[in-house]
């Protein structure tokens, strides 16, 4: 049997897909796994902030189309890049163990976020990070930053930025951990939905492939956390790019959730946090929906309507 993995060409995407390939072949030596490299829209447009492009499938659409055509069988994604609603005929079939879900702070000069000089330039294109940075350090300048992990670190070293913020998971997976000056606690900066989790996407109805991939890859704790966080995202987004974050930590039959919605400047910042009991993925989905509804009722709905004209 052969399984073809559709993957982006970046170093991180290839690392992730090679890791999944290794796990499958280790568990099922009789299965041959092939990587098929695909260029996505997000790989082509490198000079525009992601939020301004407005396409939720920037890093997934072309790979999903290849799956639906039958050119590849599964896709390996950084789950934080996967839209909350998938194309008809596709589903998430497995979730990896979660790498560090937090944000990493890298600087020129071994600074931490609190010790960075006033007026320093910090690079990020994430609306989520921008809104939280404006609360934590309203005195700094925030400048958009695009490119893969290597490119972003190169721009930092060239002096285009005094500091940059990246997902710790990607930095660690590529072996750049020594460049990190500070890991930002979720108490200070709530992570992106599903940050640190690899999501494996497949076709509905491919039961044999799904069984193989789940057995080789799937983490129940990651699946529960991702279900909570993606339900939150699905309920809040309404078709718009908004500053938001949601982070769920699973401990046996309880899940601790932190989430927020904000306007672009961090002036109207609404946060919810709580511990919830669950016994199924349906419970996890309902927890994410409930947290989102509480935030929308607390002022999030007005933020969406005012800033993004989402009704």
Annotation says 150 is catalytic: no
From the list 306, 207, 186, the residue with the least C-alpha distance to 258 is 186
Note the Cα 306 to chain centre separation in Å. 26
Q: Which of 81, 79, 109, 112 is nearest to 96 (CA)?
A: 79
Active-site residue identified among 43, 47, 55, 81:
81
| Distance, C-alpha 279 to centroid of its chain | 25
Nearest to 165 by CA among 149, 10, 82, 175: 149
Tell how far CA 158 is from the center of its chain: 27
Q: Which residues are catalytic?
A: 81
């Amino acid at each position: 049997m052969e399984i073809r993995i559709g993957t982006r060409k970046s170093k991180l995407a290839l690392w992730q897909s090679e890791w999944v390939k290794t796990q499958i072949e280790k568990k099922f030596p009789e299965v041959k796994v092939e990587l098929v490299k695909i260029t996505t829209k997000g790989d082509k447009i490198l000079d525009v902030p992601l939020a301004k492009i407005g396409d939720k499938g920037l890093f997934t659409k072309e790979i999903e189309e290849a799956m639906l055509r039958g050119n590849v069988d599964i896709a390996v994604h950084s789950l934080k890049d996967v839209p909350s609603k998938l194309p008809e005929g596709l589903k998430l079939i497995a979730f990896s163990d979660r790498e560090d879900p937090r944000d990493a702070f890298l600087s020129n000069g071994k600074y931490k976020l609190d010790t960075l000089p006033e007026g320093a330039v910090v690079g990020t294109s994430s609306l989520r990070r921008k809104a939280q940075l404006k609360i934590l350090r309203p005195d700094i300048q925030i400048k958009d930053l695009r490119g893969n992990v290597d490119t972003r670190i190169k721009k930092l070293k060239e002096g285009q930025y005094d500091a940059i913020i990246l997902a710790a998971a990607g930095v660690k997976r590529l072996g750049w951990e020594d460049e990190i000056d500070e890991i930002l606690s979720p108490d200070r900066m709530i992570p992106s939905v599903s940050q640190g989790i690899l999501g494996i996407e497949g076709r509905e109805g491919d039961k044999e492939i799904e069984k193989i991939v789940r057995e080789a890859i799937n983490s129940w704790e990651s699946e529960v956390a991702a279900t909570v966080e993606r339900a939150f995202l699905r309920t809040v987004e309404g078709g718009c790019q908004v500053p938001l974050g949601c982070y769920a930590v699973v401990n046996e039959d309880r899940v601790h959730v932190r989430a927020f919605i904000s306007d672009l400047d961090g002036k109207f910042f609404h946060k919810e946090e709580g511990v919830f009991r669950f016994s199924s993925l349906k419970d996890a989905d309902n927890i994410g929906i409930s947290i989102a509804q509480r935030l929308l009722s607390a002022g999030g709905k007005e933020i969406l309507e005012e800033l993004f004209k989402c009704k």
